[in-house]
Chains A and B, each alone.
Chain A
Amino acid sequence: MAYADACVHPYPSGDTSPARLALEARACGLEILVSTAGAGEYFGVRVVKGVLVRGRTPRDVARSVRRAPQDALVLVEGGDDGFNRAVLSTGGVDVLRGMHRVPRRGFDFVAAKTAADHRVAVEIDLAPLVACHGRTRQKVLGRYADLLGLQRKYAFPFCIASNAHSVLDLRSVHDMVGLCSLFGMEKDEVHAALSTVEGLLDREEQVRVVE
């Protein structure tokens, strides 16, 4: 099992080069990084290209997903409930992210079932847990606890991202386990979530119907 950080932002979005992020990630116990800028292999860490998709409508998202490179992981920013359901059933989407920003009922049991059927991972973003304080962090913890309840019932995959713009934002596997325990996630569940990206990358190609 290779542990992965599901989204990092190297230079020029952040202040750290992809190689340096990979070097730090190795020290943190991670073997795969999904990067929004640059790909390659540095210091034994695989840096995979990730494509961030932000669309106002599901049609915009579908168009962007079609344009994404074949070997890239497609990460789509979540929205309201109708948007999320439509995106989750769109082929080619790997990860639904930004769940702490969506409206309260944006991800319900129907979306959870759809995510489980299409094997789309839902991202747990650690950045707001680290950076936010007070009421904002309480809301995020509540939202993640709600997601965890749905995940335990419908078994859709979770993935964990630090959304690091700098090496200082990266967290070790041990720290990730601790941060996720704040909203009730068990150690085994965190380890399973950290190895989700490896499964997404090795996913078999879907059969395309050619007319």
Chain B
Amino acid sequence: MRARPKALRAKRRYLLVRILPPWRAVEQKALYLAVAEAVTSLFGDVGAARVQPAVVFSAGEYAVIRCQRGYEDDLGVACATVTSVGGERVSVRTIACSGTIAALKARLDRDSGRFRPEKVHYGEKEVPAFRYGRHKVDVLQEDIKGESIVFLTDSESEEI
């Protein structure tokens, strides 16, 4: 099928989102399914057909989500209602909106996707922790209920 001329193509908007915690590996397809589910749950099938959400790019903690022009606010609200992706508890924060993917990619941090766990002492155990930003430390701990995260700052991690 021949591509339509530019004047006849539907206009689109792109949202740059950040996935928290940033060290959590989130697959592009799982993110798409979560966002599509959120849009459908919030606006129904008719609304989802109008918004047409799609994840066009995903790298580390950032992703770019596409929608039809005029529905970027709806997509942002739907992203705010995403609480888990692929069974992992995450939060999706909207950072910016643009008409081109290139403009959003220019805003990406260069050091995204290079998180390595380090060992810290939490209580009496040595547990893995992720350090990022200037002050943030996420401590992973295993208990009878499974894995849980404790969100701390660097000064508190020194006290534990």
- Point out residues on A near B: beta carbons under 8 Å: 11, 15-17, 19-21, 23, 42-43, 129-131, 133-134, 137, 166-172, 174-175, 178-179, 181-182
Complex Cα–Cα for A21 and B151 (A): 8
Chain A residue at smallest Cβ distance from B79: A175
- Shortest A35–chain B CB gap in Å is 14
- Are A166 and B80 in contact (CB-based, < 8 A)? no
A56 to nearest B CB, angstroms?
32
B151 touches A167 (CB 8 A): yes
**Are the C-beta atoms of B77 and A182 separated by less than 8 Å?**
yes
On whether the beta carbons of B94 and A17 are closer than 8 Å, the reply is no
Contact B151 A134 (CB under 8 A): no
Chain B interface residue bracket vs A: 20 to 34
Which of A20, A133, A172 contacts B93, CB < 8 Å?
A: A172
CB distance from A10 to the nearest CB of B (A): 9
Once the chains are docked, how many angstroms separate the CA of A17 from the CA of B154? 11
B80 and A16 form a contact (CB under 8 A): no
Minimal Cβ-Cβ distance residue in A for B84: A168
Q: Is the CB of A175 within 8 A of B156?
A: no
Chain A residues, CB < 8 A from B45: none
* Bound-state Cα–Cα, A160 to B83, Å: 19
The 6 closest A-B pairs by CB, nearest first: A178-B77, A175-B80, A16-B151, A168-B91, A19-B153, A20-B151
Binary CB contact string for chain B from 123 to 140 against chain A (1 if under 8 A, 0 otherwise): 000000000000110000
- Nearest CB of chain B from residue A136's CB, rounded to whole Å: 11
Asked if B112 is at the interface of the complex by the 8 Å CB criterion, the answer is no
Complex Cα distance, B96 from A172, in Å, reads 13
A167 to B132, CA, bound (A): 14
> What's the count of A-B pairs with C-beta under 8 Å?
69
Contact A178 B73 (CB under 8 A): yes
Return chain A residues, CB-CB under 8 Å to B155: 19
Given contacts A20-B151, A133-B41, whether A175 and B20 have CB atoms under 8 Å apart is no
A interface footprint on B52-91 (CB within 8 Å = 1, 0 otherwise): 0000000000000000000001001100110100000111
**B-side interface residues toward A, CB under 8 Å?**
20-21, 41-42, 73, 76-77, 80-81, 83, 89-91, 93-94, 135-136, 148-153, 155-156
Q: Are B93 and A17 in contact (CB under 8 A)?
A: no
Mostly, the A contact residues are: helix
Report whether A20 and B80 are in contact in the complex, using a CB–CB cutoff of 8 Å: no
Closest partner residue, chain A, to B76 (CB atom): A178
A167 to B90, CA, bound (A): 10
Q: Give chain B nearest CB distance to A33 CB in angstroms.
A: 14
Are B76 and A174 in contact, CB atoms less than 8 angstroms apart?
yes
- Among A15, A23, A168, the residue within 8 A (CB) of B20 is A168
Report the bound CA distance from A170 to B20 in whole Å.
11
Contacts of A172 in B (CB 8 A): 93-94
CB of A165, distance to nearest CB on chain B (Å) = 11
Are B152 and A23 interface neighbours, CB within 8 A?
A: no
Determine how close the nearest CB of chain A comes to the CB of B53; give it in whole angstroms. 15
Pick the contact of B153 from A15, A17, A171, A179 — CB < 8 Å? A17
Contact among A17, A21, A137, A175 with B76 in the assembled complex (CB-CB below 8 Å): A175
